[in-house]
């Protein structure tokens, strides 16, 4: 180092040291303006009510016009304890959507959960009865082991697969669970409660979606180590063959988590179901593998690849679109309600960044690609937080030829502004 730089570096180092000392002095003078924590904790107990208001503008495919719409939703969640051993859960949502979605009502109530639960004094044994939202699988885009997802999503107000889970409806069931150190098991019986077809009244319980058949689900969880754990599932369902499932998660490094899901069962191909003809069952495998990597600045990126052996291959997509819009609509309606993956193969990149420019601003974005027809869907959200209010700007764009999964969406681009008021 040449001598003339030395004094400058010394001055810089001294200046930095003084600046840090001054910052520390300032930091030690800070005082919180918050109420006493005990009061805050008390205020937070009880039901949680959220009001959601949204306005959207949608641009149709080439040669088609644009549409505008708006919606409102009241969302209630309440989980509480009756005493040390008994607890209850209530969760419901009322949506009002304009314009009305095809085949649906503008105002729709969803009873997501209503259950009563008991647990032993140690908490190791528990029994729950009622409508319960039991979810399985660590994947983001497609959950082959989430055995209660079929027919459970009737309110689709976002393309974000994570946010969509919040609107999913539970299944009426009786469930018993046993925990032990490092693992647990549960047995759930979900009875058939309706034999009628699609219910579409404002206050429908959606039993045709969640409790259309008798099901028994056994799950066993175990922790191989602090870094690896897994779950095995066995499902017996009226009129279908047994389904086996496995999922696991692992901490690879302090920044990386891997996850995988696999399930196998005899089922009809989606193309056969959509076309309405004979739908013979065959053994199909479904799987998802993914990796989430987190950076110190708050950026978290997940890459996922998914496979559905019952999904559509290239020839199936061509056959489907050749039959006209009706079977295409039927396929999309069914896969949306079941959170099923229509394509044989797909991948997704999902990223979240907290505190962009301002601490209260979060960004979430994803790209999903149908790896068979190469169409893709991009979605991004900017969300700013206030203490009891969130404002989100969402953008969505589907790309692909007219005879592809995302190219066939009714709207090429959707922009939505959503406000969330938390009471």
Cβ-based nearer residue to another protein, 88 or 395: 88
Shorter beta-carbon distance to another protein: residue 182 or 276: 182
Q: Footprint of another protein on residues 199-228 (CB under 8 A)?
A: 221, 223, 226-227
Looking at the Cβ atoms of 24 and 322, the one nearer to another protein is 24
Residue 169 touches another protein, criterion: CB under 8 A = no
Is residue 229 involved in binding another protein (CB under 8 A)?
yes
Contacting residue, 385, 403, 411, 417, with another protein by CB under 8 A: 385
> Does residue 294 touch another protein according to CB under 8 A?
yes
420 touching another protein, by CB under 8 A: yes
Candidate segments 42-50, 262-270, 337-345, 408-416, binder of another protein by CB under 8 A = 42-50
Is residue 177 at the binding interface for another protein, with CB under 8 A as the rule? yes
By CB under 8 A, tell whether 327 contacts another protein: no
Q: Taking CB under 8 A as the criterion, which residues in 333-362 touch another protein?
A: 354-355, 359-360
Stretch that binds another protein, among 79-87, 311-319, 324-332, 404-412 (CB under 8 A): 79-87
The first and second tokens of residue 387, run together, are 């203490």
Q: In the window 234-293, what residues touch another protein (CB under 8 A)?
A: 249-251, 253-257, 259, 292-293
Tell me the three-class secondary structure of the chain, residue by residue: CCCCHHHHHHHHHHHHHHHHHHHHHHHHCCCCCCCCHHHHHHHHCCCEEEEEEEEEEEEECCCCCEEEEEEEEEEEEEEEECCCCEEEEEEEEEEEEECCCCCCCCEEEEEEEEEEEEECCCCCEEEEEEEECCCCCCCCCCCCCCCCCCCCCCCCCCCCHHHHHHHCCCEEEEEEEEEECCEEEEEEEECCCCCCCCCCCCCCCCHHHHCCCCEEEEEEEEECCCCEEEEEEEEEECCCCCEEEEEEEEECCCCEEEEEEEEEEEEECHHHHHHCCCCCEEEEEEEEEEEEEECCCCEEEEEEEEEECCCECHHHHHHHHHCCHHHHHHHHHHHHHHCCCCECEEEEEEEEECCCCCCCEEEEEEEEEECCCCCEEEEEEEEEEECCEEEEEEEEEEECCCCCCCCCCCEEEEEEEEEEEEC
> Among 2, 83, 122, 201, which residue sits at the site for another protein (rule: CB under 8 A)?
122
Q: Does 33 bind another protein (CB under 8 A)?
A: yes
Assess 70 for contact with another protein (CB under 8 A).
no
List 69, 76, 92, 184, residue binding another protein (CB under 8 A): 184
Residue 273 main-chain phi, psi, to 5 deg: -65, -45
In the list 10, 12, 393, 402, the residue contacting another protein (rule: CB under 8 A) is 12
| Nearer residue to another protein within complex by CB, 260 or 343 | 260
Cβ 181 to another protein shortest distance, Å: 5
Minimum CB separation from another protein for residue 251, in Å? 6
Q: Which of 70, 77, 105, 374 binds another protein (CB under 8 A)?
A: 77
Among 59, 105, 109, 135, binds another protein (CB under 8 A): 135
**Which residue, 2 or 196, is less far from another protein as judged by CB?**
2
Distances (CA, A) of 266 to 269, 283, 310: 10, 4, 9
CB of 150 to another protein, least distance (A): 16
């Amino acid at each position: 180092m040449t001598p003339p730089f030395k004094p400058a570096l010394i001055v810089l180092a001294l200046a930095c040291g003084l600046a840090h000392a001054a910052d520390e002095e300032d930091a030690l003078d800070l005082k919180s303006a918050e109420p006493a924590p005990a009061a805050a904790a008390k205020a937070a107990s009880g039901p949680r009510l959220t009001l959601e208001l949204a306005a959207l503008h949608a641009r149709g495919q080439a040669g088609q016009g644009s549409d505008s719409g708006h919606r409102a939703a009241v969302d209630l969640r309440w989980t509480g304890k009756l005493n040390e051993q008994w607890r209850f859960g209530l969760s419901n949502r009322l949506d009002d959507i304009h314009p009305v979605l095809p085949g649906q009502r503008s105002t729709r109530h969803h009873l997501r959960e209503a259950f009563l639960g008991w647990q032993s004094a140690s908490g190791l044994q528990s029994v729950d009865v009622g409508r319960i939202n039991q979810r399985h699988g660590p994947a983001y885009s497609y959950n082959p082991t989430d055995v209660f997802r079929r027919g459970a999503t009737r309110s689709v107000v976002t393309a974000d697969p994570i946010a969509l889970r919040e609107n999913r409806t539970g299944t009426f069931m009786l469930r018993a669970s046993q925990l032990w150190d490092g693992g647990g098991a549960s047995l759930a019986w979900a009875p058939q409660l309706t034999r009628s077809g699609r219910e579409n009244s404002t206050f429908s319980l959606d039993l045709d979606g969640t409790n259309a058949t008798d099901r028994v689900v056994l799950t066993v969880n175990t922790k191989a180590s602090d870094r690896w754990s897994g779950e095995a599932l066995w499902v017996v369902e009226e009129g279908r063959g047994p389904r086996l499932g496995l999922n696991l998660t692992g901490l690879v490094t302090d920044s990386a988590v891997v996850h995988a899901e696999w399930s196998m069962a005899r089922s009809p191909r989606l193309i056969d179901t959509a076309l309405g003809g004979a739908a013979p069952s065959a053994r199909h495998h479904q799987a998802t593998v993914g990796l989430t990597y987190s950076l110190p600045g708050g950026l978290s990126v997940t890459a996922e690849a998914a496979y559905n052996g019952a999904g559509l291959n290239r020839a199936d997509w061509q056959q489907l679109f050749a039959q006209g819009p009706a079977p295409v609509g039927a396929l999309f309606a069914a896969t949306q309600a079941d959170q099923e993956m229509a394509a044989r193969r797909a991948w997704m990149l999902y990223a979240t960044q907290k505190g962009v420019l301002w601490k209260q601003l979060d960004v979430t974005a994803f790209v999903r690609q149908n790896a068979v027809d190469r169409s893709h869907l991009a979605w991004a959200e900017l969300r700013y937080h206030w203490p009891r209010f969130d404002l989100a700007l969402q953008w969505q764009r589907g790309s692909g030829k007219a005879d592809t999964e995302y190219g066939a969406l009714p709207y090429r681009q959707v922009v939505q502004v959503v406000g969330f008021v938390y009471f």
